[in-house]
């Protein structure tokens, strides 16, 4: 078995040979298939290919991990504490994720004091107010349920959460054809620990494959 439960079916791990722990956050999904559990995570095949020690995280509610995970944690901070306990024996921590998972990779990279955080086409700001400011209506359908409970609003704007200078290096990869993603990335582009990588001839949903084709970061150790 390549994956084993760490806590429930939405937080899994893979034991490998790397001294780096890779933490993969899954993107927003429109078609969760209950019959596919517990195998539907982003980049599982990549972790297998490079024999990585890895943790896989997914939010099947599609609410940007603001409410933690069912039967695991009720919010971002609680989930970060659980993951943090699994990182202590590794030399380096790398967080990776696309879109909603890219937002999570940057946020949890900060909370976990990771060495690197790769956001693939990430949202830097979420919620209805920020989406209107950025003219970004792509995720409006999820913002009402996102804001209807008791989220942690300060996490809605990563440019106000991530320290200007800190331990983590943030690499953001956006498609050359995804102008809204560039707007998000520009919100944190002035930071000394920030690097923008442009995926040529790519839209929002193409960048993950571009990263794989260019072997951008998955052989880190």
pLDDT at res. 32: 60
47 and 22 Cβ atoms separated by less than 8 Å: yes
- pLDDT digit string, tens, across residues 124-169: 999 999 999 999 999 999 999 999 988 888 899 999 999 888 889 9
Classify residue 49 as left (phi > 0), alpha (psi -120 to 50) or beta. alpha
pLDDT at res. 9: 83
Mean pLDDT by 10 residues, the chain (221 residues): 83 95 92 58 90 95 94 95 96 97 98 97 96 93 91 92 89 97 96 94 96 78 53
Cα 52 to Cα 29, 44, 189, distances in angstroms = 24, 10, 30
- Containing 196, the helix (H) or strand (E) segment is strand 194-199
pLDDT at res. 216: 80
- Containing 173, the helix (H) or strand (E) segment is strand 169-175
Q: Which two tokens stand for residue 28?
A: 């927003």
pLDDT at res. 133: 93
Rounded to two decimals, what is the model's pTM? 0.94
pLDDT at res. 77: 96
pLDDT at res. 218: 62
Counting DSSP H helices and E strands in the chain, the numbers are 7, 8
- Strand 92-98 and strand 20-25: the pairing is parallel
71 and 26 Cβ atoms separated by less than 8 Å: no
Q: What are the residues facing 194 on neighbouring strands?
A: 170
pLDDT at res. 215: 85
Give all domains of the chain, ordered by start, each with its CATH number: 4-214 (3.40.50.1820)
């Amino acid at each position: 078995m390549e994956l084993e439960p760490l806590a429930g079916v939405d937080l899994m791990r893979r034991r490998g040979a790397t001294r780096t722990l890779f933490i993969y956050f899954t993107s927003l999904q429109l078609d969760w298939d209950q019959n596919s559990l517990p195998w539907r995570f982003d980049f599982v095949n990549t972790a297998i290919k490079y024999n990585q020690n890895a943790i896989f995280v997914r939010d099947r509610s599609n609410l940007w991990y603001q409410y933690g995970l069912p039967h695991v944690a009720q919010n971002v901070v609680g989930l970060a504490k659980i993951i943090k306990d699994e990182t202590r024996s590794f030399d380096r921590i790398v967080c990776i994720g696309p879109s909603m998972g890219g937002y999570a990779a940057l946020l949890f990279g900060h909370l976990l004091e990771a060495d690197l955080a790769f956001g693939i086409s990430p949202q830097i700001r979420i919620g209805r107010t920020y989406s209107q400011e950025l003219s970004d209506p792509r995720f409006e359908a999820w913002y009402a349920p996102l804001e209807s409970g008791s989220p942690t609003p300060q996490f809605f704007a990563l440019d106000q959460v991530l320290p200007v200078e800190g331990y983590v290096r943030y690499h953001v990869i956006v498609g050359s054809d995804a102008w809204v993603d560039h707007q998000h990335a520009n919100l944190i582009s002035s930071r000394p620990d920030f690097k923008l990588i442009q995926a040529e001839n790519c839209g929002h949903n193409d960048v993950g494959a571009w990263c794989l084709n260019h072997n951008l970061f998955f052989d880190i150790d």
